Amino acid sequence: MMMVKAPAKINLSLDVLHKRPDGFHEVEMVMTTVDLADRIELDETKGTRIRIISHDRFVPSDHRNLAYKAAEKLQRKYNVKKGVDITIHKQIPVAAGLAGGSSDAAAALKGLNELWALGLSNDELAEIGSEIGSDVAFCIYGGTALATGRGEKIQELPTPPKCWVILAKPSIGVSTADIYQNLKLEKVDHPNTAKMVQAIEEGDYQGVCDHLGNALESVTLQLYPEVKHIKEQMQRFGADAVLMSGSGPTVFGLVQYESKVHRVVNGLRGFCDQVFAVRMLGSRAPLA
């Protein structure tokens, strides 16, 4: 049996540039992992059956699950004649814009690489992961990175300035596909990715706050007023900067000083069930 951590991510910057011939969108994203994680338990079994076990009713237990797809890809690609029970202990909210499913898949890839003694490098695992989902390659490496292409091209960045991250997820799920379908590229407010990268490289906390941006945010806020309400309330309670992560619906706020964290968290808990105060993990670390 092996236990692997699968941390969540937030998007400090997310830009959508254009639609590609393959149907995906060309993106530029600055992402970083945070200290909120699922735990993935891997138990090798006889035969070749892959089984997903979770007590969260929103976690699919079949081929729709990205961790299932990860195990299946490794089995087929490397002719593995072993099975696995994958138990997913959820902490990351489902369909939240925090890459929970992608991180579970990345954790499964890294753990099974060891469990099945495949000897693959992180680069090789990331290449396999990119065939499963756009965020999986980033989740293999973790830390902080600039992701381009459809999200599979990863350039490592330094650790961002230290701060608290307050996450608030309303009691709805958001389909990434639906958000992209409603995106009008000619109306996108493009964030300045280069300025965000510069702020991180210079350790400039105020610069990071000033250049938070998400090209998908206006679409989600229009379709889901509760997300807009959470953002407004987080700003009112005093977060230094506030943004929606991914396609939503989770909103995060950056707070530099711990003395302000409790005020923001307590204010949000009055109307939002899932609120977390975490730190950025910042630098790359093994998921196991």
For residues 16 and 68, give the distance between their C-alpha atoms in angstroms, rounded to a whole number. Answer: 29
Binding-site residues for ATP sit at: 93-103
**Radius of gyration for the alpha carbons in the chain, expressed in angstroms and rounded:** 18
Whether 135 is a known active-site residue: answer yes
Q: What is the pTM of this model?
A: 0.94
Statement: residue 288 has pLDDT above 80: no
93-140: per-residue pLDDT in tens?
Answer: 998 999 999 999 999 999 999 999 999 999 999 999 999 998 999 999
Largest CA distance in the chain: 56
Q: Which of 15, 38, 104, 135 is catalytic?
A: 135
pLDDT(41) > 50 = yes
8-22 per-position pLDDT tens digit: 999 999 999 998 898
Give the Cα separation of 82 and 68 in Å (integer).
Answer: 14
Q: Which residues contact 52 (CB under 8 A, 6 or more apart)?
A: 59, 60, 61, 62, 65, 67, 68, 86, 88
CA distances for 281 relative to 45, 102, 176, 227, angstroms: 33, 17, 25, 25
> Which is nearest to 120 in space by CA: 70, 158, 156?
70
Write out pLDDT tens, residues 96-106: 999 999 999 99
- Scored b (16 or more CB within 10 A) or e, 62-91 reads eeebbbbbbbbbbbeeeebebbbbbbbebb
254/256 Cα distance (integer angstroms): 7
Please confirm, yes or no, whether 9 is among the known catalytic residues: yes
